[in-house]
Amino acid sequence: MTYIAKATAVEQNSKPQRQRPSRADAEAAVRILLEWSGDDPDREGLIDTPARVVRAYEEFFEGYNTDPADLLARTFEETGDYDDLIVLRDMRLESHCEHHVVPIIGKVHVAYLPANRVVGISKLARVVEVYAKRLQIQETLTSQIADTIQDVLQPRGVAVVVEAAHMCMTTRGIKKPGVSMVTRRLLGAFQTDPELRRDFLATISNLGGGLL
């Protein structure tokens, strides 16, 4: 470990652990926001809103409670020598922008080229879900999904494409409804083999209704 790395580690360890606020603290914060917005948090329609918002946040951001790598730990080697593309397409994406805490809605396509072992397809969907249930920007989300699959499964290649609409752009600010953002991360063979890359992009385009 270099001196800089050691110094950084010491500095991080010396920082006091941030204590998670209580549920009561969170509800009080929501109440303040309601008041700041100009409404009366004591009126009938809003009196239970702070508690509802906190419960909703528990669902929206439950991804912080799971290590995505653990989801891919169990693999299967009885594949009948299958060595071609494995693609999950059109997975529903619901996340939240870390800049404005408003929804990001879209879909995710994930593919990998196995190397002697595969993983249950529901686990791939769970990896997407765990990262989506955190405050995000789409670029980071795309990289996190692909990098985790590559690091844990060690396949010959991984490809992830995300297409999503950002409510921070469509409902506020510049207000451009109907605009979607497409990001992709190609690793291993998908990066070096143009034919494989074309096959993957053609697959999600033809089957997914013309994404690309």
Number of domains in the chain: 2
Residue 89's domain is classified under what CATH number? 3.30.1130.10
Residue 77 catalytic?
no
Domain final residue pick, 13, 34, 60: 60
Per-residue confidence band for 14, with pLDDT thresholds at 50, 70 and 90: low
User: Is residue 124 exposed (0-12), middle (13-18) or buried (19+ Cβ within 10 Å)?
Assistant: buried
Helices (H) and strands (E) in the chain, counts: 9, 7
Domain final residue pick, 42, 60, 78: 60
Residue 109 catalytic?
no
Q: Which of 138, 144, 150, 163 is catalytic?
A: 138
Instruction: Give the domain range for residue 79.
Output: 68-207
Q: Could you give the CA distance from residue 137 to residue 143 in angstroms, rounded to a whole number? A: 10
- Identify whether 192 is part of a domain: yes
Span 165-176, average pLDDT: 86
Span 105-130, average pLDDT: 95
Same domain, 47 and 127: no
Residue 108 in contact with residue 160, Cβ under 8 Å?
yes
Pick from 39-43, 104-108, 166-170, 192-196: least confident? 166-170
Residue 150 catalytic?
no
Q: In the chain, pLDDT over 90 holds for what percent of residues?
A: 76
Residue 136 has pLDDT above 60, yes or no: yes
Show the tokens assigned to 64: 């912080």
Residue 166 catalytic?
yes
Residue 29's domain is classified under what CATH number? 1.10.286.10
Residue 96 parent element (H or E): strand 86-97
Nearest CA to 150 among 197, 185, 174? 185
Same domain, 50 and 116: no
